[in-house]
Homo-oligomer: A and B are copies of this chain.
Amino acid sequence: MTTSTASINPRMRTTAYEALLKRLNKIADLQSVQNLLQWDQDICLPDGASQARSIQIGTIAEMQHELSSSNTTRLLIEAAEAELQAEGFDNDSDEVAMINAARRDYQSKVCLPTELVSRFGTLVAEAQEVWQQARESSNFALFQPYLTELVELSRQKGRYLGFAEHPYDALLDEYEPGMTADELRSIFAPLKQRLLDLRGTFSTGAKIDDSFLRLNYSTEKQFEFCKRLLESMGVANDYSRFDSHTSAFTTSIANCFDVRLTGRIVPDYLNMAIFSTIHEGGHALFDRGINPAYARTPLAEIHSMGLHESQSRLWENLIGRSLQFWTYHYPILQATFPDQLGKVTLEDFYRAINKVQNSQIRLEADEISYSLHIILRFELELALIEGSLTVADLPAAWNQGFEELFGTRPENDSKGVLQDIHWAGGAFGYFPTYVLGNLISAQLLQQIKLDIPTLEQNISEGDFQPLRQWLSENVHRFGRKYQTKDLVMRITKSPIDADAFCTYLDEKFSRIYQVH
């Protein structure tokens, strides 16, 4: 990946770059350790130790911050950059990508004033607790002052981070590097209309019974079945670990060498365990597939949530809710739960797991409604950050926006604007990545079907190897090397847009709802 080095003393050639790498390795190790401290807190920690654990996380985070924001790091980046330039390294080389990532990380650490970071951290900790109470009692007023300060600080944050057009862009950039509010607007506007049209069409279609998904299912057997699904997907035991937990998540403890995921298993709704597991399995395969040579460097840390989500959603929805997937797995599921599913046909099961629910709750929404939830969130957070909407007016704006999209008003704020934790966590600019994930997953699948003509056949035989290999070669291995827009263009020769996703929904749900 390097070009001519003829005139360079070979001993000198990599000195600065390697010194930088060594430092980046240390910073990455401290991140892995924080991930372990957090994972352990979720899965293993005795209840009485949570305060002690917060202190430990604080110590490591502080050490990591000191290292990554230090002047030495800046100097190492500059020296390595000069070195690579002198040696004429290709812009497409890993080395140049490494330096770009390191510079970006350094700048994001130093551009925010310490007091702002510290106040933001304290506020988020408080706000999340208050949000929990507010949601439980459906009392927005309780949460309002916290959200107001969070919006104000986020606006400040945006100004410090810097932006060309819109302060929201600076925040969005944290979760979706290179994306802007304007781009999102131009992608989301046609998507919104097409989703509304699709929903209208299918609401007149056949009725679907999914009551058998809500019988009593042994959580132990569900766990065993979920492990079986991960095995099918190729989430290897040697490098990963699967637990049951009250929320589903995936984390890397040592980059691609140690990926840990959880599924959320409840006794009275079979979808929860199955699709949270397949979803996290998709994330896990991404983390597992990143070039091992990137381990302990910034290139192994994916910043594009949209790209990561494209992997989880590809598996969860496009693969995991397909008829082919269950052609292979449904007999196994039936054998696991003969009492509940013995008399349910494959076709009825397939239709049930794809029922359009129109739920007030994002997490329970079907594939069509889901993106509408997000588009509403995006419009509201954009308005909050640009100052055209006050926090006081937010619940009314949510209810009105929801009614326009779904035809009903939420029962209360707890099932409305208070349902999601993201804003309480200070995350503005995160929501749209969920839709980007949906769109990209469909664009990728279109390309995959061209490249692997036997894909559906393979899946219906439980053979995921060709798919996994395609994802690994075209997406996973690059880690953070490319911007997501560029990667999608590279793979599909198209910018990120809604066409593939809407076509996919149209074809799939037309068949399910027998509407033509």
Contact = CB atoms under 8 A, between A and B. Distances in A.
A252 to B, nearest CB: 10
Interface residues of A, number: 36
Given A49-B258, A55-B296, A40 B36 contact: yes
The 8 closest A-B pairs by CB, nearest first: A52-B254, A49-B258, A48-B238, A29-B59, A52-B257, A48-B239, A49-B257, A47-B238
A369 interface: no
A295 interface: yes
Contact of A46 (B40, B46, B237, B255): B237
Contact of A37 (B36, B48, B59, B255): B36
A357 B52 CA distance: 44
Main secondary structure on chain A at its contact with chain B? helix
Contacts of A241: 44, 46
Interface in A233-260: 236-241, 253-255, 257-258
A103 interface: no
A13 B185 CA distance: 61
Interface in A119-159: none
A80 B30 CA distance: 30
Contacts of A295: 52
A505 interface: no
A49 B296 contact: no
A32 B55 CA distance: 11
13 contacts: A25-B59, A36-B37, A36-B40, A44-B241, A46-B239, A46-B240, A47-B238, A48-B238, A49-B253, A49-B254, A53-B254, A53-B258, A56-B254
B36 A258 contact: no
A196 interface: no
A367 to B, nearest CB: 32
Given A33-B37, A56-B254, 17 more contacts: A26-B63, A29-B56, A29-B60, A33-B60, A45-B258, A46-B240, A47-B238, A48-B236, A48-B238, A48-B257, A48-B258, A49-B239, A51-B257, A52-B255, A52-B258, A52-B295, A55-B296
Contacts of A60: 29, 33
A34 to B, nearest CB: 10
Contacts of A45: 258
Interface in A206-235: none
A491 to B, nearest CB: 28
Contacts of A240: 46
A320 B158 CA distance: 63
Given A36-B37, A37-B36, A29 B55 contact: yes
Interface in A50-66: 51-53, 55-56, 59-60, 63
A296 B54 CA distance: 13
A33 B41 CA distance: 13
Which of A32, A255, A257, A296 counts the most B-chain CB atoms under 10 A from its CB? Answer: A257
A254 B58 CA distance: 13
